[in-house]
Amino acid sequence: FFERILVILQGNTSKPGPAFHERYSKLLLQLTYESVAAGDVSTMLYEPVLNSLALLLTPVGPDYQYSRKNAIEIILMLMKDDQNKKPLAANERLLTELVNFCSNMTSGEQKEQVKQVILKLIPEL
């Protein structure tokens, strides 16, 4: 399921409008809430999910603010459990996009959150 959704997400990165990004980020956010509540987030650490989060962080511009916010919230939820930090740090694509996100943002709460995420993930490399 997540592999196929990732392919669709990749195919929709160049199309105008953030509609697919918003819907998918909302779905991932809901699945993460449910996984955390159930005490099993292993599905959310699956490589296609992490690669999807990286793609959701990639677009820069106000149209993608909602999906980026959801991606950051998902990562923050996953990082509450120290065991999840290593798989997050091991995904090079996600780590690269977190760094790119900080480089592209001038300031703000999201940039500060992502900087903290990076600082917590680096020791896991």
Per-residue pLDDT of the chain (125 residues; tens, 9 = 90+): 999 988 887 877 666 567 788 889 999 999 999 999 999 999 999 999 999 999 999 876 778 889 999 999 999 999 999 999 999 999 999 999 999 999 988 888 999 999 999 999 999 98
pTM of the model: 0.92
CB contact at 8 A, 60 and 21: no
Q: What is the C-alpha to C-alpha distance for residues 54 and 56, in angstroms, rounded to an integer?
A: 5
Burial of 105: CB neighbours in 10 Å, binned 0-12, 13-18, 19+: middle
Tokens describing residue 4: 């196929």
| pLDDT computed for residue 15 by the predictor | 63
**Per-residue DSSP letter, 39:** T
Q: What is the C-alpha to C-alpha distance for residues 83 and 90, in angstroms, rounded to an integer?
A: 12
User: Could you give phi then psi for residue 16, rounded to 5 degrees?
Assistant: -65, 145
Provide the 10 A C-beta neighbour count for residue 34: 13
